[in-house]
Structure 1
Amino acid sequence: MPEVNVEINGRKYRMACEEGQQKRLIGLAERFNDHVEQLKGAVGEIGDNRLTVMAGIAVVDELAEAERRIKALETEVLVLTRAGQEVAAEIEALEASFAARLSDAARLIEGVAETLDDTAPIPQN
């Protein structure tokens, strides 16, 4: 199993990961370290453990907010999908109604044309 070295709050940590996940783990550690550094800038030196716990809680808070937004978007997608299906059904019904009326109109026009053919004198040359 490959190992990578990451740095959090100025300390190096050796971590194992699955093959091919080295860059991802390093990137995640860098993002977490950014949170630690931001908190350190905001609250000052409060001790490594406390600072790391606060950064962890901040990251979990962001994750919880992202999960809430994802759930809201999934609900919105479901509502929009249902609305789209309803609109599609309405369009199909309107198309069927239009086709039926067009067919009725064509029959009426054919009937009028037949009547005119039957009653109109044929011109003789």
Structure 2
Amino acid sequence: MAQVEININGKNYRIACEDGQESRIASLASMVDSHIKDLVEQIGQIGDTRLLVMASLLIADELVDLREIEGEVAAEGGGAPLGESEEKIAAALDAMAGRIESIADQLERA
């Protein structure tokens, strides 16, 4: 079993993974770290645990939105013109940005 060292919020973690998956784990860690950095810019350092929970919720929210879009496109028979699909994705991204701002506002007040 391989191991990869990742860095999230300035802290190093050694993670075990399947052989050959090191670069994927590093890439995923980079995505998580990016969310953490965005949160820190918005609300500051509020503790690793809270930041990781918030980042996890944001990532889960993105995943649910993408699954909903995928379901809508599949329900349309996948035949939706590309422009319509792009509009749906853009709308979903706008909605996610709004939710991120809302979560940041709530945490600022907490």
Alignment TM-score > 0.5, same fold: yes
Tell me by how many angstroms 1:36 deviates: 0.5
Q: Which is richer in helix?
A: 1
Q: CA deviation at 1:43?
A: 1.0
Alignment RMSD: 1.4
Runs of 4+ with >4 A deviation: none
Q: Which runs of 5+ in 2 are unaligned?
A: 81-110
Alignment-derived partner of residue 15 in structure 1: 15
Q: Does residue 59 of structure 1 match 2:52? A: no
Q: Give the greater-gyration-radius structure (CA).
A: 1
Partner of 2:35: 35
Partner of 1:77, secondary structure, is: coil
Aligned length: 80
Q: TM-score, normalization: structure 1? A: 0.61
CA distance in 2: counterparts of 1:55 and 1:16, whole angstroms: 21
Q: Deviations over 1:5-35 (max 9, x none)?
A: 0011111000011111110010000011000
CA distance in 2, matches of 1:27, 1:70: 23
Q: Give percent identity, aligned residues only.
A: 38
Partner in structure 2 of residue 24 of structure 1: 24
Deviating more after overlay: 4-13 vs 71-80: 71-80
Q: Which residue pairs with 1:6 in the alignment?
A: 6
Point out which structure has higher relative CO (alpha carbons under 8 A, 6+ apart).
Answer: 2
Q: Distance in 1 between matches of 2:52 and 2:19?
A: 27
SS across alignment from 1:5: strand
Secondary structure of the residue aligned to 1:52 is helix
SS in 1 for 2:6: strand
- In structure 1, distance between residues paired with 2:79 and 2:30: 38
Taking structure 2 as the reference length, what is the TM-score of the superposition? 0.69
Alignment partner of 1:77 is 2:77 = yes
The 3 A distance-change label for structure 1 pair 78 and 62 is closer
Alpha-carbon distance change, 30 to 79 in structure 1, aligned in 2, over 3 angstroms: closer
